Structure 1
Amino acid sequence: MSETEKDELIDAQKQVIGILFEVIKRLQTNNDLDEEYFQIITDSTKNEKRIKEILDERNENSKIVGRLLEQLEI
């Protein structure tokens, strides 16, 4: 294996690690949001605005995770 091929392999590995790290971070954020969401749902004194914000952020995180995982398929 040539030096160039080794460098390309290392770069690809770094990219995969970076993508997986971001996926894990986004999924963990969604887990945290789930917990807050259920607390708000059970406490009727919380406002609907925060519920919408949580749902919007969860959707955005899910879209980003999907795009990141698509990158790994290439």
Structure 2
Amino acid sequence: MSERSKDELIEAQKQVIGVLFEVIKRLQANNDLDEEYFQIISEDSKNKTRLNEIIVERTENAEIVGRLLKELEI
């Protein structure tokens, strides 16, 4: 294997690791938001604004995870 091929392989591996790290970070953020969401619901709170913010952020995280995983398919 040529030196250039090795360098390209190492770069590709770094990119995959970076994408997977971001996926894990986003999924963990959604888990944290789930916990907060259920706490707010269980308190029978009228804090609808925060619930809406959580839903928007969870949706955004899920969309980003989907895009990142599609990048890995290429």
Instruction: Please give the TM-score of this superposition, normalised by the length of structure 1.
Output: 0.97
Q: How does 1:50-65 map to 2 (within 5 A)?
A: 50-65=50-65
Runs of 4+ displaced beyond 3 Å: none
Task: Report the residue type matching 2:51 in the other structure.
Answer: I
State the distance in 1 between where 2:72 and 2:48 align: 37
- Report the CA distance between 1:68 and its aligned residue: 0.2
State the distance in 1 between where 2:30 and 2:24 align: 10
Where does residue 36 of structure 1 map in the other structure? 36
- After superposition, the CA RMSD in angstroms is 0.7
- Report the CA distance between 1:44 and its aligned residue: 1.8
Which ranges in structure 2 are unaligned for 5 or more consecutive residues?
Answer: none
Q: Does 1:5 align with 2:11?
A: no
Task: Report the residue type matching 2:67 in the other structure.
Answer: R
- Report the CA distance between 1:52 and its aligned residue: 0.2
Identity %: 73
State how many pairs are aligned.
74
Instruction: Please give the TM-score of this superposition, normalised by the length of structure 2.
Output: 0.97
Render the CA deviation track for 1:12-51: whole Å, top value 9, x for unaligned.
Answer: 0000000000000000000000000000011123500000
Which ranges in structure 1 are unaligned for 5 or more consecutive residues?
Answer: none
Q: Does 1:18 align with 2:26?
A: no
